[in-house]
Homo-oligomer: A and B are copies of this chain.
Amino acid sequence: MAGSEGFEPESDRVTRQLRDDILDGVRRPGSKLVERELAAELGVSRLPIRDALKALVTEGLVTPRPRTWAVVREFSPTDVSDLGEVRSALETLTFRLAAQRRTRAGLEKLRADLDAELEAAQRGDAVQARRAAADFHETVTSLAANELLSELERTLRSRMRWLLSRHDDLLGVAREHENLYDAIVARDVPRVEELVLKHLEMGRSAAAAHLRSSKE
């Protein structure tokens, strides 16, 4: 299936660039995003920039301010807890469906993601570990075989990456993913749901701690 691609609009490239800049902290929360400036910097016209900014607004990474420049979004503790609540609902469903509908091929892909994450976490490679963790979530979502759920996951992915970037205990996350993987393999739905809730609790407390520390 991977094929069929091979074409990428300029606006997608710009979107990715901007998204990575924001998530990597190159563009700090609150900083200005001026269309003409960005167009000059990235060597494109204003149109792809406008498209990209619109996309990032729907991803929740950019705050538009009508009639004037947009800014990189600043996340509040409320935003974090809101995200936690939505994840508790959506991921419970995702993992439950994944456990029920997993295929052999999907499971293999999931195992590969998991191994990559464990390996990177043990090596202390935060960038790779987080990328693998994101892949793990994406693969689980595809296992759930619900197109709408996949769409929602895509729009939440940026916020998830943001959350994960404020997470220190990468090995702990990876181990929880391993437990979830085992439960999915065993089709043990009750255990999956229990683990998801535990997983979310961990993410929540880690992010809270991070926000507290960056405040002072």
| A interface residues (Cβ-Cβ under 8 A, vs B) | 4, 7, 9, 47, 51, 54, 58, 60, 66-67, 78-79, 82-83, 85-86, 88-90, 92-93, 97, 146-149, 151-152, 155, 159
Q: A7-B67, A51-B54, A54-B54 are in contact. Are A88 and B93 (CB under 8 A)?
A: yes
Least CB distance, A51 to chain B, in whole angstroms: 7
The residue that A93 contacts in the complex, of B4, B78, B86, with Cβ under 8 A, is B86
Q: Is the CB of B67 within 8 A of A146?
A: no
Q: Is the CB of A79 within 8 A of B7?
A: no
Q: Which single residue of chain B is at the shortest CB-CB distance from A81?
A: B146
Q: A51-B54, A85-B93 are in contact. Are A152 and B151 (CB under 8 A)?
A: no
Which residues does chain B contribute within 8 Å of A51, judged by CB atoms?
54
Which residues does chain B contribute within 8 Å of A78, judged by CB atoms?
147
Which residues does chain B contribute within 8 Å of A79, judged by CB atoms?
147-148
Least CB distance, A141 to chain B, in whole angstroms: 12
Which residues does chain B contribute within 8 Å of A9, judged by CB atoms?
66
Least CB distance, A143 to chain B, in whole angstroms: 14
A-B contact pairs, 8 of them (CB 8 A): A7-B66, A60-B148, A79-B147, A79-B148, A82-B148, A83-B148, A86-B146, A86-B148
Q: How far is A86 from B94 in the complex, measured between Cα atoms in Å? A: 9
Which residues does chain B contribute within 8 Å of A86, judged by CB atoms?
90, 93, 146, 148-149, 152
Given contacts A86-B148, A86-B152, A89-B93, could you give 10 more A-B pairs where the C-beta distance is less than 8 Å?
Answer: A4-B66, A7-B67, A60-B151, A79-B148, A82-B148, A82-B149, A85-B149, A89-B92, A148-B159, A155-B155
Q: Is the CB of A146 within 8 A of B85?
A: yes
Q: Which single residue of chain B is at the shortest CB-CB distance from A7?
A: B66
In the A-B complex, list the 10 residue pairs whose CB atoms are closest, starting with the nearest. Answer: A89-B93, A82-B148, A89-B89, A82-B146, A86-B148, A82-B147, A85-B146, A89-B90, A83-B148, A86-B149
Q: Which single residue of chain B is at the shortest CB-CB distance from A8?
A: B66
Looking at A9, A47, A54, which has the most chain B CB atoms within 10 Å of its CB? A54
